[in-house]
Every structure is written in C-alpha cells, then in structure tokens.
Amino acid sequence: MEVSVERLVYVREDDYTVAWVSAEGHPGFAAAGRALAGAQPGETLRLAGGWGEHPRHGTRYVVTGCERVVPATVRAVRLYLGSGLIRGIGPRLAHAIVDHFGEAALKVIDTEPDRLREVVNIGPARQAQIVAAWRDQQGIADLMVRLQGFGLSPLLATKIYQVFGADSAEVLARDPYRLIGQVRGVAFGTADRIALRSGVPERSPQRIKAAVLDRLAAAAARDGHCHLPLPALAGQAAELTGLEAGDVRPVVDALAAERRLVVETSPDRPDQAVAYAAEVHEREVRLAVHLARLLGAPSTLPLRAYQEDPALHEDQRMAVNMALTSTVSVITGGPGCGKSHTVRAVATTVRAAGGRVTLAAPTGKAARRLAELTGLPAMTVHRMLAHRPDQDAGTLFQESPVHADLIVVDEASMLDLQLAARLVAAVPSGSHLLLVGDGDQLPSVGPGEVLADLLRVPPVPRVRLTHVFRQAEGSAIVRAAHHVRAGRVPELPGGGGFWFEELDDPERVAERVVHLATVAIPRKQRIDPAQVQVLCPMRRGVTGAVELGRRLQERLNPAAEGRPEHWSGADVFRVGDRVMPIRNNYDKGVFNGETGTVTAVTPQDRVVEVRTGDGEVVEYGFGELDDLAHAYAVSVHRAQGSEYPFVVAPIVAEAGGVMLRRRLLYTLVTRARSWVVLVGSREALETAVHRVGHRRNTGLARRLAAALPG
C-alpha cells in the first residue's frame, strides 16, 4: 500500500512509531510498527502489513515493511514540499512550485534545478538553499537504507548525516568506529556491527583500539572516572570484542605510543598501572599545575585590614578570614549553614577595599540563585571565561572578569575536570580563588571529582560550616537533608515541606507523580504547574525522566490541531515546551542545565526557537535538536545548581535501583525551596539513604600534593 504521511502521532525510543497516513481510497488512518521508524510528515511510503485492532486505539494498519518512494501525485508532491522537509519551502511556496511544474516538480529540483527560478519569489539564493536541502534529504534517505541493511535503526541516519554530511556513506564503509563519540546514541556495539558486516576482521587493531577508547569514554560518562586500572580496561575491552585480554594489551601499548592514551602508576596502588584518555590526563595535569601556581603565589588582594562582623557565626568568621588571606580556599557546608551569607561578607569586604570581585557558578540557574542570595552580580563560569574586554560604557567589566582580585565559584561540586582546568588556568597569580560548595552533593556530570579531591589535600585551606541557623532549623527540607547526609532516614511521612507517599508499584508511582505535578500541588498551592519540577534518579524505566517527561508533556502541552510540531527521533517539540540544553554551545551562548521555553517551531526554516531563562532567543536547527532535551522531568544530576519551589520525585527500586545513593537523594531533597514530595517504596528510600556509592578514579589529589612544597 502506498501512503502519504500526514503527521506523526507517537515515536518510542525502541523505534516503534505511529503515524497518521492517507492513501487512495483511505482518506486518513493510523499506521504503526517499528518498520515506520524515521518516517517524516510529507514522505510517501510503500507499506507492507495488514489491518489489526489495538485494544485502546481501535483499527490501525500494522506495518511490517516500509520503503520510501518518490511522491508521484500532485497532492503527494505538494504535501512533501510543504512539510518542511526541504528547508526554504513552506506551504505557500510549495503550492506555487507544484502549480508551475505539476507532478514533475521533484524531478525538476533533482535534474533541472535552474528552472526553479521560473517560480515567483525564487532567486539564486533561495534556489541554492532548496537544492542543497534536497541533496541532504536524498543523502539521509540513502543512509537509512544502508543502516537498515546493517539491522540498525534508521533514526540514526539524520544524526550521522548531521555530523559527516555527504561523507557519511564513506565513513560507514571505511571507518565506522569514527561514529563513536561523535554521533549521539552510537557506542561501540553499533559501530562494531557495521564494521564486522563490512568485513573488518575480529582481531583488527582498528577494532580493538576502538573498544579500548570506548571503555575509557564509557567509564568517564557513566561513572565519572578519569582513569581505569589497566587490567580492568583490558578485561572490559576483551569482553566487548569477544577476545582475550592478552589480545588487548599490545593495542593499549600502541595507543600509548600514538599518545591517544597515557599509562602511569596508580595513585592508590604503586604496584598497578592505570590508563587515561590523553585529553583527560592533560586536563588533570594542567589543573594540578595551575592550582599549585595559585597556592604558591603571593596575594595581590588590596586589603589592609578586616573588621570582623559580629553578626557572623564563629565558623563563618573563620571562613571569611581564610578567604581573605589564602589565594585558594574552599568553603563547604550543608543547607541552612550560611554559605551565601559568608560569600557576601567576603565579597563586600573586598569591594569596600577597592578590589574587584567576580561571582560565578557552573550553570545559569546557579548563577542567578547566587546573585539573589548575595545581592551581587553573578555569571556562569563559561561566560566569565569567554568574556572579552569591551569599551562600551554599559559593560559590567571593562576588563575580563577572570582578572578580578577575588573570584568566587559557587556550587563547586559541579565543576568537572575540563571546566575546572580552564577556570584555574585563567586565574592570574595573586588573585584569590574561593570555591564554595556542598561536598555531600553529587559530583559533576563530567569526569572528575574536583571539590572532593581538593578536600583530600591537607595544605588546601578549607572551612566547613556546620552551624544550622534558627531560620533554617524550622525547615522540614533542611531537617530531612541533614538526616540523609548523616545516613538516617528522615521522619516519615513528614510534613511542613517534606512529604513521603508510600507506593510500591512503579506504574502507580508514575501515575501519582504526574497527578501531583500537574493537578494536586498546583490546585492546592494555587500555582502554575510550571513551578513544580519532577526530578528522577534514573533516565530509563516507567519512573525515569524520559517516560515521565513524555507523560507530563502530553498532560501539560499536548498536540493541537493546526499547531506546528517537529519530531526529532522519539522527541516531539511544540510551542510552550519546557526544554534545556544538554551541551554547552558557546556560539549560541547556552550552557548545559539552563532552562528555556519553546516559542516557535518553523518547519519552512527547519528551526525551533527557544527563549532562555535570561530572556534571550536562541534558534536550534532541526538537525541540532539532539543538543536540546525536554525539562518536564529531569535527572537529579541535571538539576544540580538549580532550586525549584516544589519538587516531586519517584523513589523506586526499578531496574535494581542502581542510581539510588545517599548523595543523589541528598542532592534531590536540597533542590526544593518550599516542598519536596517523594513517592515510592520505603525500601527504596532506605536503600538510597544507606548506600554510599563509589569513589571516582582520579589522580588530582596526588598530583596536587606532589606539586606543593613540603
């Protein structure tokens, strides 16, 4: 049966797709199946399958096979050109092109593109744009066929083409391992399937090298490790390739000779070697060198005397004195212990003495929160490092903010190795660097454990604030957080800001979380549902961020007739969606973890427009949407540095509850300002409280200790 795709209804991460299609004699019906994966509105498909009944959704065409074909009728050609698949052509221009060329419109674009100028409003620039977009679509379609031949999802085709463009087919044929790390969703297994089916030998050094580097990258991404013990790395790579560890060791040596990885003595076991990816090793060494430089430099702080503030608690006064006398120092402490008030005291003292102060945090939300709590300007670390001097009188800093006399970085537990190395290398000798954070929170998303490593080096000055102030003592959230930090289960069910609702079945937990976030809490508190944030310990599963985010989107921002939307893989973007970047993009000026709202979806230009929390408007091309995630439900890790009025979270032992750890639960609870509601099993909650979790493999503490005198 030959059909035209009118719109997508549902796409699941396992490729299961439901589309509303039309065919001659069938004006509109649902087609469903994994074979539909990658289908886009406007395409013409030749389907194999048969009619079936769905228990909830009724009659639908069950697809078992799918082939893309060139639209052959005037209606199908008009639908294809007006769908947004070809950038530069909207519905109105599609009508004009088809009115002029009829059924031959696509053939003209393909073989006689100069004739497009016969159509009103198509000049040389628009013609070139249309032809380039047509070539891209043909390339993606060809790539889909290739991937299906390897037994892989055609949804990968757009992602691969976005990275490699017209060279995509050659990359698949010559070196599919290049896909690893460059194309989101492609790990060793996917690239290896292509390689082996293309004739790459099982014992090929190219294959084993890819496996070794993949295991190092996976350890960094999954567990935050900077290095792996050599025996563990060889064993994991051997398991991945189905070979023996003895086959891997010579390849590790070859990678070391190529300077793609570094092998050195373990920081913890002198009898064992460890392996680093070369770029991770370079960052760790650079960070240690520059920390030692700052610690050893004489202070240039313009401060002659400091009048102690009697309103500060004793440990706060110690912290202020430390920050004013030490070129590198650390302040830690839990909620309600006065970290922000201490920072304000340090900053105002330096400013009063004529010194320049920069306050920064790893994310935009954390920076805005720091500014609110201290009453002083703050920015993201990324913006601070990217700043260029500007003589405009309206500029906050006439010189780069990293050249301040005092630099304070809040939420320092979020600093990964890469960002910390860039930051510390940029700070001038003699300036004071004050890192402020809660060492009991989750470490950074990226590899490394910078704050914890600094606290393992005795010569690094530090003060831990432990006094909980009376105002904070009255907060049920603060009490619950300190219980969790101490390894004790909070008082249940709780009240006054902390509440635990006991349910055992994950499906019922998911339903309850969605109801609380969209109906119960907004109704009781008389607030907009946007003030309620769902946080999830896991990404996968029925109570994971992906599935709960989908349910929340359908409840809060469902599809509407006539409103444009765009499906990117298993994600659909609509006007009004809550979204967040998941990668830093310095060109766009957006950073991982910031939130925004979709304000426009424009198929003709193939862009999604997002208004950030700072009020700036940023455009994402349809091919860039892998860098953008929905923020209806987010992982606890991605919520670091943020604070929300109301938080709802599932706490279940789904998939073994491997993510349920004390630091994760502590971080989750401390994200809420007014209320946090946990829904799940008491057993899962107790597991999270008592499970400490692993320490990351890092060498920073040893390197820094060795670089300091004495």
Structure confidence at residue 395 (pLDDT): 38
Out of 265-269, 543-547, 567-571, give the one with best mean pLDDT.
543-547
168 is in an annotated binding site: no
| CA distances to 367, 378, 409, 484, 605 from 373, in Å | 10, 10, 14, 24, 41
Contact yes or no for 34/16 (Cβ under 8 A): yes
> pLDDT (tens digit, 9 = 90+) per residue, 634-667?
999 888 888 899 999 999 987 556 678 999 999 9
Contact yes or no for 290/424 (Cβ under 8 A): yes
Structure confidence at residue 657 (pLDDT): 63
Structure confidence at residue 655 (pLDDT): 54
- Do strands 498-502 and 672-680 pair parallel, antiparallel, or not at all (unpaired)? parallel
Count the Cβ atoms, other than its own, within 10 Å of residue 26.
Answer: 11
| CA distances to 286, 376, 381, 533, 647 from 361, in Å | 21, 13, 6, 21, 22
Structure confidence at residue 471 (pLDDT): 58
Structure tokens at 701: 């503490």
Share of the chain above pLDDT 90, in %: 55
336 is in an annotated binding site: yes
Structure confidence at residue 396 (pLDDT): 40
DSSP state of 655: G
Burial class (CB in 10 A: 0-12, 13-18, 19+), 394: exposed
Per mean pLDDT, which range of 288-302, 370-384, 534-548 is the poorest? 370-384
Structure confidence at residue 90 (pLDDT): 81
237-241: average pLDDT: 94
Share of the chain above pLDDT 70, in %: 96
Band (pLDDT 50/70/90 cuts) for residue 394 is very low
181-205: average pLDDT: 90
Per mean pLDDT, which range of 48-62, 230-244, 502-516, 581-595 is the poorest? 581-595
107 is in an annotated binding site: no
Contact yes or no for 510/517 (Cβ under 8 A): no
Structure confidence at residue 227 (pLDDT): 96
* Position 392 pLDDT exceeds 80: no
Structure confidence at residue 458 (pLDDT): 95
| CA distances to 229, 288, 389, 391, 407 from 394, in Å | 52, 37, 12, 8, 21
Structure confidence at residue 335 (pLDDT): 87
Per DSSP, helices labelled H in 102-242 are 105-111, 124-149, 156-164, 168-174, 188-197, 205-223, 230-241
Band (pLDDT 50/70/90 cuts) for residue 61 is very high
435-457: average pLDDT: 93
Structure confidence at residue 389 (pLDDT): 43
Structure confidence at residue 472 (pLDDT): 56
Contact yes or no for 61/47 (Cβ under 8 A): yes
82 is in an annotated binding site: no
* Position 162 pLDDT exceeds 70: yes
> pLDDT (tens digit, 9 = 90+) per residue, 487-541?
999 988 888 899 999 998 999 999 999 999 999 999 999 999 999 999 999 988 8
Contact yes or no for 687/660 (Cβ under 8 A): yes
| CA distances to 19, 158, 162, 179 from 622, in Å | 19, 10, 10, 20
Contact yes or no for 674/497 (Cβ under 8 A): yes
* Position 76 pLDDT exceeds 90: no
Compute the distance between CA of residue 79 and CA of residue 88 in angstroms, rounded to an integer.
15
338 is in an annotated binding site: yes
* Position 388 pLDDT exceeds 60: no
Structure confidence at residue 397 (pLDDT): 43
Compute the distance between CA of residue 84 and CA of residue 67 in angstroms, rounded to an integer.
20
Average pLDDT along the chain: 89
264-288: average pLDDT: 92
Band (pLDDT 50/70/90 cuts) for residue 157 is confident
* Position 543 pLDDT exceeds 60: yes
> pLDDT (tens digit, 9 = 90+) per residue, 405-441?
999 999 999 999 999 999 999 999 999 999 999 989 9
Per mean pLDDT, which range of 224-233, 383-392, 502-511 is the poorest? 383-392
Per mean pLDDT, which range of 74-88, 285-299, 410-424, 530-544 is the poorest? 74-88
